[in-house]
Structure 1
């Protein structure tokens, strides 16, 4: 088999406090002695089709948003300081796609919880924006 070219795809990945670009090289091969087809490995699946983020990058955005209560505009500012220019719409798109992929897990959990005789929960609070007053109020999970 003789290499006749390759396709290269790049994805954005995160290691806490360290962003990096993962490069995937997929060489193309063809046999010089026969008239066989061009052979190439399959491209890895992406959560965002033709997009940069890896699963770890999207998980980082979601955990920052819902776990650390960091809104998208603030995350965009943090990433810009690290040289990564992402706007709020992009971060929201990534979160929406992740929610789509996580929906079967949420449905399964809802089904299992509905079957339970009793449910126990605490009253965890978090500050949420109160648009009318321009301040924050206490929100419950």
Structure 2
């Protein structure tokens, strides 16, 4: 079997529908609309995938938020300067219970081991 080379799939931003499906009954003409899908940030327009992308870029790849903005603008999404910072702040608030649970789990161990790369100065 021949080895395949490495490749990359370019990511694209896409807009998710803002409205839920709306239907009208043909008998009684009653209007029925499904509830909107939940969002991580209330009244926010960013989905969980976009928030995860920004958080990974900021914390794992050390990408400044201003660079995120330029990348989004190049892809056709022109957002306000403060928007990515708001996303990060609200996302960290959402993740706080998870951070607390991980901290409790780590601190409940008999011993805590650190890797060699995490030496204190």
State the TM-score bracket (shorter-chain normalisation).
0.7 to 0.9
Aligned residue number for residue 32 of structure 1: 27
Segments of 5+ residues of structure 1 without an aligned counterpart are: 1-14, 126-139
By relative contact order (CA 8 Å, sep 6+), the higher-ranking structure is: 2
CA contact (8 A) 1:61 1:95 kept: yes
- TM-score normalised by L of structure 2: 0.76
Cα distance between partner residues in 1 of 2:73 and 2:42: 23
SS in 2 for 1:25: coil
Residue 38 of structure 1 deviates from its aligned partner by 4.0
Higher helix content, 1 or 2: 2
Cα distance between partner residues in 1 of 2:100 and 2:114: 19
Q: How does 1:42-121 map to 2 (within 5 A)?
A: 42-121=35-114
Cα distance between partner residues in 1 of 2:94 and 2:84: 16
Segments of 5+ residues of structure 2 without an aligned counterpart are: 1-8
Residue 51 of structure 1 deviates from its aligned partner by 2.2
Moved over 6 A (4+): none
CA contact (8 A) 1:73 1:87 kept: no
Q: What is the root-mean-square deviation of aligned Cα atoms in Å? A: 2.5
Residue 123 of structure 1 deviates from its aligned partner by 5.1
Cα distance between partner residues in 2 of 1:124 and 1:94: 30
Cα distance between partner residues in 2 of 1:100 and 1:80: 26
- TM-score normalised by L of structure 1: 0.66
Deviations 1:35-93 (Å, cap 9, x if unpaired)? Answer: xx643211111122232211000000000000100010111112122221124410011
Is 1:17–2:40 an aligned residue pair?
Answer: no
Q: 1:120 to 1:100 in 2, by over 3 A?
A: same
Aligned residue number for residue 6 of structure 2: none
